[in-house]
Structure 1
Amino acid sequence: MDEIYMNVKPVPSKNQTVPRSSERRSHGVVVLCLGLLSVLLLAGLISLGVHYHVSAQRSAAELSSIKANLMERLQASDNKSSSLTAERDWLNASLVKMTEELNRLRGRPTCPTGWRMFKCVCYLLSNETGSWEKGKEDCGVRGAGLVVISSTAEQMFLSNFTREETHAWIGLTDKDKEGTWKWIDGGPLTDPLKYWREPQPDNGGGYKTLGEEDCAHIIIGKSDLHNWNDLSCNTLLRWICMKRL
């Protein structure tokens, strides 16, 4: 009996687990699927990155194009503005000429080109400078004389003749007698038509280097009523001519 039992091979139990080929194949399929999924995921990431890179380049190009377009429009606007300014100035000049011509045709007196009118009197501020005598001569050549101020309104008009501050001879002098100021037409200087700056006139204020200050000038561009000063007649200043219509 013992020999019989020893030669009999044991039969595996139904509950004992044994590896099967089907399970191995299933494991391989899972690994393969995971690998394919990883490849697809990587490909998707690469494609997404390329898409964003191309989009960024396209956006940069579009922004550059928009910027260039705006710059062109801005330049065109500046050019148009300059053109309009030039056209405005031309129209203003044309309007002045047309007004002068219309007044001439209507028989109304007008000032020569470059002169300004105030109450039927024409005034000219010279572009050049020179002594008081040179200003007097230049005005005479123009059929005029150095300005003689006869009212407060005229004084204010001349004080604001230009926006720039400048000094200009007027037709007032005390050459004949120190301290006795007379207009170039022979009329005396009387109150209240005296518009000296304080403490003028001072004839140099005692400074011999300034010489005799026998000619008067006006300071234009300060909107100041009292703006006369006396200076040496040889000082180089601009001058104001006037002539009545």
Structure 2
Amino acid sequence: MAEFKSIPDTSSGSQNNIYFKLNEDVRSTPSQKGCLLLKLFWIPLVCGMLFMVLLITVSVSFKQQFSKLTELENTVANLTSSVALLTYNQQDTIEKQFSKLTELENTVANLTSSVALLTSNQQDTNDRIVEMFGDLKADLEIRITNLTMRKPVLSCKPGWQLYSSSCYLFSSTRLDWEKARSSCSAQGALLLILGQDASEWYFIVTNVSKSKSYWIGLTDQTTGQWRWVDGSPYIMDKSQWEPGEPNNLGGEDCAELASSGKLNDGLCSRSFQFICKAPANEN
């Protein structure tokens, strides 16, 4: 049996140190010594095994944590890559939109410039037109003033009527068309020629007798086409004629102004009153 004893240490001077001594019982048997040795051997072995188990457990746990950490790093890397790609695509889209916006701004600027130039040109044109009209108006005013200042006094022979710048004779005698033409010519006039002046037509119609017809200077007996006595062509206007006329019935080649105020083709040999027309005299 082992026991611990306190033994004074005289080699340390004034200090007292205590140590222990294993006092083996001289009466201990060899089997007891073997058990003691066995116990002394197994304790470190068990401790070593426990340490190994703990080390393995820690190692496995560390590997698992490391694996999870690696997966997390990969996930973070993938997310980072996705974010970077998304950012790149978004940046590319923004750049494209900005480029389109820049093009649109340039187009608007060009259109604005074109409109401004067009407006300027139009304004210049308007100014020139206004200036031209102003000059033309001034010139016309001067001409009118000059004409008014020296405007002659017009007159007609006795028995003739003045209208505008012409004199008209409404005859009281009746002649055939050829003799009526000759009578007008002998007086320095022509058998009536009417143009497209509606006011002249109105003057003639209001001055003829409402119950008589008058020869005028229009015939188709020479060429088959209606012409005035001065040889100028007549522009057919059906509104000036009686309904259904001219019909050339029985060789009607001379035009008469009927009492209705409309034209009618009649036989040139018939006797009607007639109308002569001559320029007015200037005094």
- Report the TM-score when normalising by structure 2: 0.43
Larger helix proportion of the pair: 2
CA radius of gyration, larger in:
2
- Structure possessing the higher relative contact order (Cα contacts under 8 Å, 6 or more residues apart): 1
- Report the TM-score when normalising by structure 1: 0.49
